């Protein structure tokens, strides 16, 4: 399947003049939490209500303070007073909400305009007939209800995705709101809910990646709401990221009768294109223009990128280059302490950009569609996205399924121009073939040319799906790509280095989870990072280039610690590779090493897990993560030898005795050439605090919603962070700003506290602007340490009568740090499969063919005594077989004593390993045309992984906790391999 693409938004450049205006409708809202009878009326007295700038969740104080299931719910009213400029008289006025949680009823000047109930997606209304003309005041009021169990009015059904485990409940209007003022003849908005319209659709086809060409098409749905027929010309202008005009092209003239709607289109071949790519957020402005009598009447600007995708033969291709997916299954809320999801666009770029910095190429948003700001942010930072509609954990029927298809329809229409969206996810768990076909039909109807695969979790044997893959386990396919929707669930606080560092947390210590051990969810940084590497190894081992049936990667859950379902000691999930303030854990740097490439690692990297500030007498294993072929460790210049390699990237140095100084790791390639290194130094005693501020690239905006992220560190006399410091820091804030604080282990997780400790020598806090511009000062003090101060200046954001023209995120540029898609191959084949032509078996011979049918839901099992537990394959030709890959029945819990014979000669004898997918038997190459696998004794079954579901029950794939012996051999899939020519000598 070959595909392509496009995205919406704003950018700088010579935009054609237009009678159309898009206002930022976020300023100057009044909010009251609770029921307020009559609050829809214009004359209602709201003077004592809280004044806020949207986006703003009324229960934001709960974020990370409370368990997700305890987040505050109920009724909240939002009111907005505004006046339209005289220039907008006689025009259509449309309001766009990016989302309300859960239910929103919208009133204008006391009249109910409409309501929206799904709590996820954008919607809009035509409010023209309800408005008073300039200069009269208008009042828009929204009654919101974020009850977890809110039921749809017409059906009485709850929404599956309003779930107390997954979808953090930030109530009210936690996303942006816009006001569009348009001529009666205009291009519609992509808001199917409320307006029933589909807007602009920009896409590219017929790519030539080598010559940087593609055919670009821009379609626009146009409506004539004038009283007479209107004739217009349709023109498209494409502008590059530097604001230079690339090309202008036009469609034919069109006449619309009163009330008539048509979709118009224009196409042109473009050359010299910069293709959007991983870490290369190159975006174009596409202006679609309606001209009347040769003059622009209506102009829509779509910020988009062009890229080519392919999904087939078991792999994903981006711009003709094979890519193994690696990234994060991130909660869609993507939240921050005491703020929730409602952060400024630059902070979304910072957070999502960190995923790319960790060498992630994909974010799989979990359970519900993300808000537009995060989607556009991923466009800018160059991060591929898997976009769900709405789901909890299973397929549903009836009205609940209809709710899901309606949400998917709306999400596709709203986000089909965003180049970073490459997967549409139809379910967080498997859905039926019939339901998959329904979802595919929606994609084909509303986004036939966007270059996006549609599939679902699992879907291992449903061919209508264009991708699939389980959670936790390794799947392979020669057909549609298989990538894991979630893996590596372990949790651990950033505060816990290891048991030798303050606060001396022994790995695994913590409370039970539903009466079962939760050791895996109370890790320290050492073992958490190591587990990240070990879990990725299984995916890497089956990567593209290792055969015809391959694995297309997986996403680690989660990127940042999140206020959602957890199993560890705290009341939030700590599986992140960064904490809730986006401070990196060791797993972040481990991923930089193991993910640095499209398939094979490309840039040499080495990282030493941990720090080097201990006390005399400490002796510990040092673990290094490196993509080098071997690693040497030096302490104060003296070699401690080479590490023991495991899981390809882990190098262990046993019993290293601490000495103050420099610990340095050096990675070498296969030719013994030094290619990378890393070091830790012992820092001196803590002497001072240090503050570092992070803000919007253009500075802090006094709009009532912008945030500054301020980092505080404990440093030594040389300014180096002291990695074991846990000092309590006291903050004093002055100037036009609001304290939002940070997070740390302790009472209420220190949410909104003015004093909180550093952890590992560092922490961060958030400060929010008011609508008053000025100087903001932050002072940090701690006992025995030199005080630190930081000064920020916020600049005014012009707004008049409740309307602003500066749009959120419009001034943020795309990141081009990784550069365009490389033209070189992303891997060199390491082995080649030898096809199986026929099979026989000692028992159940009629099922034996299921072991090479490329379907992991079918299997063969032997019956009877051990002597009957064999299977024999005829190969397509005599070949020098050196590897046999097997997915065995109960792969996670069973070990099989086997031997492998090639043309009757024993090539391998041993016991298979329990794993998360495939076991590979490796042996000296032996030439033959028959391959026989025999069970040589009873298999043993005992769970090797403590994988616990949210119910507290173990995943049924475990096979039980007690050792079990049985004389049967069970095989799901078998592959025979010979080495690539360049590997034969190795």
| Cα-Cα-Cα-Cα dihedral sign, residues 422, 427, 433, 438 | negative
DSSP SS3 for 193 = helix
How many other CB atoms are found less than 10 A from the CB of residue 304?
A: 28
Q: Taking 60 as the threshold, does the pLDDT of residue 946 lie above it?
A: no
**pLDDT one-digit tens code per residue, 757-770:** 999 999 999 999 99
The residues near 224 (Cβ < 8 Å, ≥ 6 apart) are 184, 185, 230, 256, 257, 258, 259, 260, 261
Mean pLDDT within 107-135: 97
What is the pLDDT at residue 941? 76
From the number of C-beta atoms within 10 Å of its C-beta (0-12, 13-18, 19+), residue 820 rates as middle
What is the pLDDT at residue 967? 85
DSSP SS3 for 13 = coil
The residues near 571 (Cβ < 8 Å, ≥ 6 apart) are 66, 67, 749
How many other CB atoms are found less than 10 A from the CB of residue 429?
A: 16
What is the pLDDT at residue 359? 98
438: its two tokens: 């329904």
For residue 980, give Cα distances in angstroms to 224, 712, 834, 929, 984: 64, 52, 12, 18, 7
Q: Taking 80 as the threshold, does the pLDDT of residue 51 lie above it?
A: yes
CA atoms within 13 A on the CB side of 34: 5
Distance CA 91, CA 163 (A): 41
The secondary structure element, H or E, covering residue 351 is: helix 345-357
Percent of the chain with pLDDT over 70: 96
CA angle 270, 271, 273 (to 5 degrees): 95
Are the C-beta atoms of residues 362 and 398 closer than 8 Å to each other?
A: no
CA atoms within 13 A on the CB side of 351: 34
DSSP string across 809-878: TTTPPPP-TT-SPPSS-S----EEEE-EEEEEESS-GGGGGGGGSS-TT--EE--SSGGG-EEEEEEEEE
DSSP SS3 for 117 = coil
DSSP string across 661-727: SEEEEEEE-TTS-EEEEEEEE------EEEEEEE--TT-EEESSS-EEEEEEEEE-TTS-B-TT---
The residues near 2 (Cβ < 8 Å, ≥ 6 apart) are 308, 309, 310
How many other CB atoms are found less than 10 A from the CB of residue 34?
A: 9
246: its two tokens: 């690339």
**pLDDT one-digit tens code per residue, 363-391:** 999 999 999 999 999 999 999 999 999 99
What is the pLDDT at residue 985? 40
Q: Which residue, chain included where needed, has tokens 């939240």?
A: 335
Which residues sit opposite 709 in a β-bridge?
694, 766
Distance CA 310, CA 497 (A): 42
**pLDDT one-digit tens code per residue, 599-638:** 999 999 999 999 999 999 999 999 999 999 999 999 999 9
DSSP SS3 for 954 = strand
Distance CA 307, CA 612 (A): 45
Q: Are strands 245-250 and 254-256 parallel, antiparallel or unpaired?
A: unpaired
Are the C-beta atoms of residues 476 and 915 closer than 8 Å to each other?
A: no
Mean residue pLDDT of the chain comes to: 95
Query: What confidence tier does 892 reach under pLDDT thresholds 50, 70, 90?
Result: confident
Q: Which residue, chain included where needed, has tokens 């958030």?
A: 766
**pLDDT one-digit tens code per residue, 429-453:** 999 999 999 999 999 999 999 999 9
The answer to whether residue 874 is catalytic is no
Distance CA 430, CA 455 (A): 9
Mean pLDDT within 145-165: 96
DSSP SS3 for 522 = coil
What is the pLDDT at residue 154? 96
What is the pLDDT at residue 6? 35
DSSP SS3 for 68 = helix
What is the pLDDT at residue 940? 81
Mean pLDDT within 56-80: 98
Picking from 746, 786, 790, the residue whose alpha carbon sits closest to that of residue 765 is: 790
Picking from 207, 261, 255, 214, the residue whose alpha carbon sits closest to that of residue 238 is: 214
DSSP SS3 for 607 = strand
**pLDDT one-digit tens code per residue, 775-824:** 999 999 999 999 999 999 999 999 999 999 999 999 999 999 999 999 99
Q: Taking 60 as the threshold, does the pLDDT of residue 986 lie above it?
A: no
What is the pLDDT at residue 698? 95
Q: Which of 117, 458, 486, 570 is catalytic?
A: 486
Considering only the C-alpha atoms of the chain, give the largest distance between any 2 of them, rounded to a whole number of Å.
Answer: 93
Which residues sit opposite 647 in a β-bridge?
none
**pLDDT one-digit tens code per residue, 927-944:** 999 999 999 998 887 766
CA angle 809, 454, 371 (to 5 degrees): 25
What is the pLDDT at residue 966? 78
Q: How many residues does the chain have?
A: 986
CA atoms within 13 A on the CB side of 655: 0
CA atoms within 13 A on the CB side of 201: 20
How many other CB atoms are found less than 10 A from the CB of residue 774?
A: 15
What is the pLDDT at residue 947? 64
Q: Are strands 700-702 and 785-796 parallel, antiparallel or unpaired?
A: parallel
Distance CA 510, CA 492 (A): 10
Distance CA 610, CA 653 (A): 13
Sheet holding 2-3, edge to edge: 2-3, 309-312, 315-318, 321-323
**pLDDT one-digit tens code per residue, 318-348:** 999 999 999 999 999 999 999 999 999 999 9
Query: What confidence tier does 950 reach under pLDDT thresholds 50, 70, 90?
Result: low
pTM of the model: 0.96
Are the C-beta atoms of residues 202 and 215 closer than 8 Å to each other?
A: no
Mean pLDDT within 206-234: 98
Cα 470–chain centre separation: 17
Query: What confidence tier does 5 reach under pLDDT thresholds 50, 70, 90?
Result: very low
Distance CA 202, CA 186 (A): 17
Query: What confidence tier does 238 reach under pLDDT thresholds 50, 70, 90?
Result: very high
Q: Which residue, chain included where needed, has tokens 């959602």?
A: 564
How many other CB atoms are found less than 10 A from the CB of residue 546?
A: 26
Picking from 84, 95, 89, 75, the residue whose alpha carbon sits closest to that of residue 34 is: 75
Q: Taking 50 as the threshold, does the pLDDT of residue 44 lie above it?
A: yes
Q: Taking 70 as the threshold, does the pLDDT of residue 422 lie above it?
A: yes
For residue 364, give Cα distances in angstroms to 389, 485, 539: 12, 7, 17
Mean pLDDT within 40-64: 98
Are the C-beta atoms of residues 970 and 890 closer than 8 Å to each other?
A: yes
What is the pLDDT at residue 981? 73
Q: Taking 90 as the threshold, does the pLDDT of residue 549 lie above it?
A: yes
Cα 394–chain centre separation: 21
Distance CA 760, CA 763 (A): 8
Are the C-beta atoms of residues 391 and 163 closer than 8 Å to each other?
A: no
**pLDDT one-digit tens code per residue, 500-526:** 999 999 999 999 998 899 999 999 999
């Amino acid at each position: 399947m070959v595909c392509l693409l496009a995205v919406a938004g704003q950018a700088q450049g010579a935009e054609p003049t237009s009678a159309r205006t898009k206002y930022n409708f976020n300023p100057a809202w009044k909010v009251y939490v609770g029921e307020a009878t009559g609050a829809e009326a214009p004359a209602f007295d709201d003077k004592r209500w809280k004044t806020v700038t949207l986006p703003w969740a009324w229960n934001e104080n709960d974020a990370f303070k409370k368990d997700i299931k305890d987040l505050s719910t109920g009724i909240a009213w939002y009111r907005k007073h505004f006046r339209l400029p005289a220039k907008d008289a006689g025009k259509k006025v449309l309001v766009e909400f990016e989302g309300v949680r859960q239910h929103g009823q919208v009133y204008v000047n006391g009249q109910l305009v409409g309501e929206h109930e799904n709590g996820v997606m954008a919607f809009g209304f035509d409010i023209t007939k309800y408005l008073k003309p300039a200069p009269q005041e208008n009042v828009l009021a929204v009654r919101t209800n974020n009850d977890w169990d809110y039921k749809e009015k017409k059906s009485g059904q709850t929404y599956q995705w309003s779930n107390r485990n997954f979808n953090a409940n930030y109530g009210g209007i936690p996303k942006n709101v816009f006001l569009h003022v348009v001529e009666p003849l205009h291009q519609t908005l992509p808001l199917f809910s409320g307006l029933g319209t589909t807007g602009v659709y920009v896409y590219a086809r017929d790519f030539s990646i080598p010559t940087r060409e593609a055919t670009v098409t821009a379609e626009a749905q146009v409506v004539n709401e004038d009283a007479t027929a209107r004739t217009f010309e349709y023109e498209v202008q494409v502008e590059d990221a530097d604001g230079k005009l690339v090309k202008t092209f036009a469609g034919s003239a069109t006449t619309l009768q009163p009330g008539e709607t048509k979709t118009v289109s224009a196409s042109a071949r473009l050359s010299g294109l910069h293709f959007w790519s991983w870490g290369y957020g190159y975006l174009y402005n596409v202006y679609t223009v309606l001209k009347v009598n040769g003059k622009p009447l209506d102009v829509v600007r779509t910020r988009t990128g062009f890229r080519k995708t392919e999904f087939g033969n078991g792999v994903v291709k981006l711009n003709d280059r094979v890519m193994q997916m690696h990234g994060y299954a991130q909660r869609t809320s993507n939240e921050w302490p005491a703020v929730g999801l409602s952060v400024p666009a630059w902070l979304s770029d910072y957070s999502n950009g960190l995923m790319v910095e960790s060498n992630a190429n994909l974010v799989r948003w979990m359970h519900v569609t993300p808000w537009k700001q995060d989607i556009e942010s991923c466009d800018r930072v160059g991060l591929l996205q898997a976009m769900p509609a709405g789901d909890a954990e299973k397929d549903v029927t009836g009205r609940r399924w209809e709710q899901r298809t309606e949400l998917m329809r709306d999400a596709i229409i709203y986000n089909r121009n965003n180049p970073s969206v490459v997967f549409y996810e139809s379910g967080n768990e498997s859905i039926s073939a019939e339901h998959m076909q329904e979802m595919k039909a929606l994609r084909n109807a509303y986004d036939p040319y966007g270059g996006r695969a549609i599939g679902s979790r699992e879907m291992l044997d449903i061919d209508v799906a264009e991708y699939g893959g389980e959670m936790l386990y390794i799947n392979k396919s020669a057909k549609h790509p298989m990538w894991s929707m979630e893996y590596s669930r372990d949790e651990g606080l950033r505060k816990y280095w290891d048991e030798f560092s303050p606060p001396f947390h022994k790995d695994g210590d913590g409370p039970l989870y539903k009466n079962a051990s939760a050791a895996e969810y109370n890790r320290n940084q050492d073992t958490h990072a190591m587990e990240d590497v070990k879990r990725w190894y299984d995916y890497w081992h089956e990567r593209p280039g290792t055969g015809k049936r391959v694995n297309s990667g997986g996403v680690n859950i989660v990127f940042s610690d999140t206020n959602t379902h957890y199993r560890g000691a705290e009341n939030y999930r700590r599986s992140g590779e960064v904490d809730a303030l986006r401070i990196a854990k060791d797993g972040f740097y481990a991923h930089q090493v193991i993910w640095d490439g499209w398939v094979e690692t490309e840039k040499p990297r080495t990282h030493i897990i941990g720090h080097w500030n201990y006390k005399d007498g400490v002796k510990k294993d040092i673990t290094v993560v490196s993509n080098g072929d071997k690693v040497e460790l030096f302490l104060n210049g003296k070699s401690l030898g080479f590490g023991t390699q495991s899981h390809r990237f882990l190098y262990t140095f046993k019993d290293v005795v601490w000495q103050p100084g420099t610990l340095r790791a050096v990675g070498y390639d296969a030719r013994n050439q030094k290619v990378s290194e890393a070091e830790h130094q012992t820092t001196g005693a803590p002497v001072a605090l240090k503050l570092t501020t992070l803000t919007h690239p253009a500075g802090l905006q006094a709009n009532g919603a912008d945030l500054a992220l301020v980092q505080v560190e404990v440093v030594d006399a040389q300014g180096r962070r002291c990695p074991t410091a846990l000092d309590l820091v006291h903050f004093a804030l002055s100037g036009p700003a609001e304290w939002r604080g940070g997070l740390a282990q302790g009472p209420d997780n220190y949410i909104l506290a003015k004093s909180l400790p550093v952890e590992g020598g560092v922490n961060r806090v958030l400060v929010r602007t008011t609508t008053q511009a000025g100087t903001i000062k932050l002072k940090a003090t701690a006992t025995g340490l030199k005080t630190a101060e930081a000064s920020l200046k916020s600049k005014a954001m012009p707004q008049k009568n409740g309307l602003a023209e500066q749009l959120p995120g419009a001034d943020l540029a795309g990141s081009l740090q990784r550069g365009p898609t490389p033209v070189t191959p992303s891997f060199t084949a390491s082995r080649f499969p030898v096809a199986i032509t026929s099979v026989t078996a000692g028992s159940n011979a009629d099922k034996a063919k299921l072991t090479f049918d490329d379907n992991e839901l079918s299997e063969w099992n032997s019956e009877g005594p051990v002597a009957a537990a064999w299977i024999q394959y005829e190969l397509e030709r005599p070949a020098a077989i050196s590897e046999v890959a097997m997915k065995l029945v109960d792969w996670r819990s069973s070990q099989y004593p086997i031997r492998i014979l090639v043309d009757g000669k024993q090539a391998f004898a041993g016991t298979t390993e329990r794993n998360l997918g495939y076991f590979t038997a490796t042996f000296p190459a032996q030439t033959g045309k028959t391959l026989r696998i025999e069970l040589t004794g009873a298999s043993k079954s005992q769970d090797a992984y403590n994988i616990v579901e949210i119910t507290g029950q173990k995943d049924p794939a475990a096979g039980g906790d007690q050792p079990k012996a049985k004389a049967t051999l069970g095989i799901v899939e078998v592959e025979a391999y010979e080495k690539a020519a360049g590997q034969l000598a190795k």
